[in-house]
Structure 1
């Protein structure tokens, strides 16, 4: 048998094992019309930070870093000229986000694929002659 405690602010219901053995008789309310077709982008084109598809990343301990990186990628993808992709500008923000993740391994476990890999090949190479050298003269 369940017991009920009501305070000024909360309604607390204590359930027994028997309460959990029967199917719930409660139904969730239907979504509001304004919430039905929301995804990562709102109708006005802004990012929807409350989208369930993002999980808790925008509001976790590394939420600021995640929002900075994700917003940067979104802006880069909006670029009208595909030859002027700005994703390279997002790499420092990605690195800051991964650095923050490393401080919270229980919340953000490392990739299961193995040790960290060089992610430089996932971003387009900068234009111009900016090749890296190891400091040795040829």
Structure 2
């Protein structure tokens, strides 16, 4: 383990700078008992206690959209999350194919937002990795 006990927080500067906090631990510190009461409580719980019910998937038991599902969570949290919710909520209440067609405006608004913000564009690192694989 390469760790020490310092932390770094950059000064606030331009909007382009990242403001991550990096914490370092020695190996001895890593193996010390957990001191934070909340984290200690979580660490002693079984997964069933931490996550009391399984995620039901894209639909809740009542038929509504489960926006907390891991399958759509990243879309809800994207810059176009509001547009995504509007489009999916519209489709969810549709009972026929014709009803689903009535959601075209909401779907196009979501797609326009996604294109405008490039919120689903691959990051530069993943593009470079793919290029290296192809070579």
Matching of residue 38 in structure 1 with residue 56 in structure 2: yes
Deviation (angstroms), 1:29: 4.8
| Distance 1:65-1:30 versus aligned 2 partners, 3 A rule | same
Structure 1 residues 88 and 108: CA distance shift in structure 2, 3 A: same
Offset of residue 3 of structure 1: 2.7
Normalization by structure 2: what TM-score?
A: 0.53
- How far residue 52 of structure 1 moved from its aligned partner, in angstroms, is 0.6
Return the offset for 1:45. 2.1
Aligned match of 1:14 in 4, 24, 32?
24
Larger Cα-atom Rg: 1
Equivalent residues of 2:67, 2:73 under 8 A apart: no
The change in CA–CA distance for 1:92 and 1:30 in structure 2 (over 3 A counts) is same
Structure whose residues are more often helix by fraction:
2
Match of 2:65 among 47, 64, 83: 47
Matched ranges for 1:1-138 at <5 A: 1-3=3-5, 13-15=23-25, 29-32=46-49, 34-76=52-94, 79=95, 82=96, 85-105=98-118, 107-109=119-121
TM-score scaled to structure 1, two decimals?
A: 0.52
The two structures, once aligned, show a CA RMSD in angstroms of: 3.3
Give the secondary-structure state (helix, strand or coil) at the position aligned to 1:71.
Answer: helix
CA deviation profile, 1:75-125 (whole Å, cap 9, x unmatched): 11xx2xx4x6301111011110111111212x2239xxxxxxxxxxxxxxx
* Runs of at least 4 residues off by over 6 Å: none
What are the ranges of 5 or more consecutive residues in structure 1 without an aligned counterpart?
Answer: 6-11, 20-25, 111-138
Unaligned runs of 5+ in 2: 8-21, 29-42, 123-135
Distance 1:38 1:3, change over 3 A: farther
